[in-house]
Chains A and B, each alone.
Chain A
Amino acid sequence: MSLEILKPGLLTTIQDLGRYGHQKEGIIVSGAMDTFALRVANMLVGNPQHQAALEITLTGPTIRFTTDQLIALTGADLSPALHGEAVKMWRPLFVKQGSILEFKSPQSGCRAYLAVSGGFAIPEVLGSYATYLKAGFGGFGGRALQAGDLIPCHAPTGNGMELFKMAAGPTEGHTSTNWTPDPQRYPNYQPSPTIRAIKGPEYELFSETAKERIWSERFQVSVQSDRMGYRLQGVSLYLQEQTELISSAVTFGTVQVPPDGQPIVLMADHQTTGGYPRIAQVISADLPILAQVVPGQTIQLQEVTLEEAQQLYIRQEQNLELLARAIHLKRNP
C-alpha cells in the first residue's frame, strides 16, 4: 500500500501537528501550517486528528495510488482532479487502485492537505512525523517529496473502513460522499484577509507612529515568505530608541521587527528563540487563515485582547469537536 509520487510539485512534505517537547534543545516544532485543515482531513478518513498528512504547496504533485484508498483533501483549492475529472474537497473520497491524482492550478489558498486512512507507514522521530527540512529529519527522509518516491501507507482504520463502505460505489475510478461538513465551522478563509493579533511583549518599546501603523496599514506578504516566516512589506516600524534585546522564546504567529523596520511573522518552521522586538502576536484561531495567504497578497492586522483571543481559541476547538461529532454520526447513523 503506497502513494507513488510521479511529480513532486513545488513543495510537498509530510506534516502533523508538530514536534513538541524539544524546543529547549533548539529543535523547532514544524508541523502543518494550517493545522485546522490537517485535523479535518484526518477526521474525514477516520484517523486521529494528529495523524500525519501531505502538505501540498501551490503547485500540487501528481500521485498514483497503488491500492484502493480512502483519502480526503482539505485546505487550499489547487484544482484536484482524478483522471482529468475534478474532485470535491472536504469530504471522504474513495479512489480505486491505479488512480492518478493531479492538481491543475491554484484557485484559492496556498496549502492543501491530503490525508490517507490509516496514515503513512514511516518512522516517528522525536515523537512526530513532521518534516524538519533544515535539519533533514522527520517525515519522508527529512526532505520534500521527489518524483519516484513510494510513500508506504498503513491499512485503513476501522473507522475509515466504515466510511469506505459508505463511499464505495463504482468498481473503478473514484467516488465521494454527497455530504460535506458544515463550512460555517471553518475559519473565515479568504484572500488578503484581516488577521487578528494581540500586542507583543515589546509593543510599548515602539514609536507612537509604529504602534498606530501596525494596526492601520496593509502589508504585502513578500515572495520571500516560506514555512519559517512571512516577510511583510509596507511602512517601516521603528523602536523609540535602538535597544539590544536578550534572546528569548518566540512562537508561531510572533510578529518580530528586525532593524530594517519590515516585520516578519514567524510561521510553523520558526526558530525556537529570537532577539528582535516583538510588536504583535497573531491569535492562534487566525493562524490557519494566515497559512493560506499566497505571497503577493496583503494582510491587515486587527487588535484584540488576550481574553478575546483565548475565547476564539476555545470556540475553534468547540467547532472541531462539533465537526468530529457530525462526521461520526455519518458513520453510524
Chain B
Amino acid sequence: MKQKDMRLFQLYPLGDTAVTVQFGDCIDEDTHAKVRTFSAYLERHPFPGFVEQVPAFTTVTIYYDPWVVSEKGLYNPYTRITEQLQHMLKVAKESHKGSKPHVVEIPVCYDGAFGPDLEYVARHNKLTPQEVIASHTRGKYLVYMIGFAPGFPYLGGLSKKLATPRKQNPRPRIPAGSVGIAGNQTGIYPIETPGGWQLIGRTPLQLFDPERNPPSLLQAGDLVRFVAISEKEYWQRKEQQHES
C-alpha cells in the first residue's frame, strides 16, 4: 500500500473538551484512508486523558479530559493535547500494509412491501425495478463513517443511475433494516426512526445490537455488498437470528 502523507492536516478545537483533525475538504477515498489510519492509530495508542475518537468523512475528532491532560491544572490543556496529537500524526502509519478491507454481505429483500419506493426510484431514473435491483447489488459500497443513529453507515459508491431525491414528506416510522436511497447516497436504517429516504428493500440483519461486541455490524472502512434474497429467505434469516 502507498505510504499516506499524514502531514497535511488542520487542527481546530471543538469546544473545551475535543479537538478535530481535518485531513481534506472533500469526500474521497484518499482522505478516507488518512482518517482511517489515524483513527486506528489512536485506538491502539490511547494516552492519559484520552476519552474517545470519532472518525467522519474528512475528520477525526478526539475527546479528552482537560483536567487529566493538564495534570490537574499545571499545564494548558489545549497546548498539551495539540502537541500530543501532532507527535502522533508524525508517527501514525498504516499498520495493516496490504491487508484487504473487510467485506460485509448484506442480504436484502427488494420485494413488495419491503421496498415501497422501488417503483418510484425506477420511474425517476427511467429504469425497471429489476434494473434498479441489478444495479444496487452490483455495487461495492465503502463505509465512510457511522453516525446519525447507532450503527447507521454513510455509504459511498451508489451508481449515479440510481440517485433519487428524498421524499417530500418524511415517514414518521421507518422499520429497522430498511434499505434506502437519498440523493446520491444509499444506507440502511439500524433502528426504527422517522426518515425521508426512498425505501427500496429491507435486510433481516440486525445492524445494531447493544448486546453484541462490537454493537455495530459495520465499521468505518468496511466494504458492503448487497445480495438480493426472496421474502421466504428474509423470514428464514430473521428467525435464525432470533434463535441465536
Contact = CB atoms under 8 A, between A and B. Distances in A.
Nearest to A317: B67
A278 B220 CA distance: 24
Contacts of A249: 14, 18, 20, 54, 56, 59, 61
A25 B219 contact: yes
A165 interface: no
Contacts of A190: none
Interface stretch (B91-99, B119-127, B148-156, B164-172): B148-156
Given A126-B215, A135-B191, A24 B59 contact: no
A6 B171 CA distance: 36
A52 B73 CA distance: 27
B51 A20 contact: yes
A26 B61 contact: no
Contact of A273 (B73, B147, B219): B147
A273 B214 CA distance: 19
A201 B12 contact: yes
Contacts of B154: 247
Contacts of A330: none
Given A26-B152, A283-B15, A134 B72 contact: no
A272 interface: yes
B201 interface: no
A300 B103 CA distance: 50
Contacts of A125: 210
A329 interface: no
B76 interface: yes
A253 interface: yes
B52 to A, nearest CB: 5
A246 B61 CA distance: 14
Contacts of B16: 198, 281, 283-284, 306, 309-310, 313
Contact of A310 (B20, B53, B66, B145): B66
A26 B216 contact: yes
Contacts of A246: 25-27, 56-58
A24 B154 CA distance: 12
A102 B146 CA distance: 42
A28 B150 CA distance: 8
B41 interface: no
Interface string A225-262: 00000000000000000000011111101100000000
A21 B52 CA distance: 5
Q: Give the interface size bracket for B toward A.
A: 35 or more
B226 interface: no
Given A201-B14, A313-B16, A314-B73, A248 B148 contact: no
Nearest to A28: B150
Interface in B1-21: 12-18, 20
B39 interface: yes
Interface in B36-86: 39, 51-59, 61, 63, 66-67, 70, 72-73, 76-78
B56 A248 contact: yes
A281 B148 contact: no
A125 B67 CA distance: 26
Contacts of B197: none
Given A247-B154, A284-B15, A314 B67 contact: yes
A22 interface: yes
Interface in A267-319: 271-273, 278, 281-284, 306-307, 309-310, 313-314, 317-318
Interface in A76-126: 125-126
Contacts of B61: 248-249, 251
B58 A248 contact: yes
B130 interface: no
A233 B147 CA distance: 27
Nearest to B190: A26
A134 B152 CA distance: 14
A310 B215 CA distance: 33
B146 A25 contact: yes
A27 B18 contact: no
A250 B147 CA distance: 11
Contacts of B72: 314, 317-318
Contact of A251 (B22, B63, B149): B63
Contacts of A310: 16, 66, 70, 76-78
B144 to A, nearest CB: 9
A137 interface: yes
Contacts of A67: none
Given A24-B39, A249-B54, A317-B73, 7 more contacts: A20-B52, A24-B220, A138-B210, A249-B18, A253-B15, A273-B147, A278-B14
9 contacts: A26-B146, A26-B208, A27-B215, A27-B216, A198-B16, A246-B57, A284-B17, A313-B77, A317-B73
Rank and list the top 3 A-B pairs by shortest CB-CB distance, nearest first. Answer: A249-B61, A273-B147, A25-B216
Interface of A: 20-28, 125-126, 134-138, 198, 201, 246-251, 253-254, 271-273, 278, 281-284, 306-307, 309-310, 313-314, 317-318
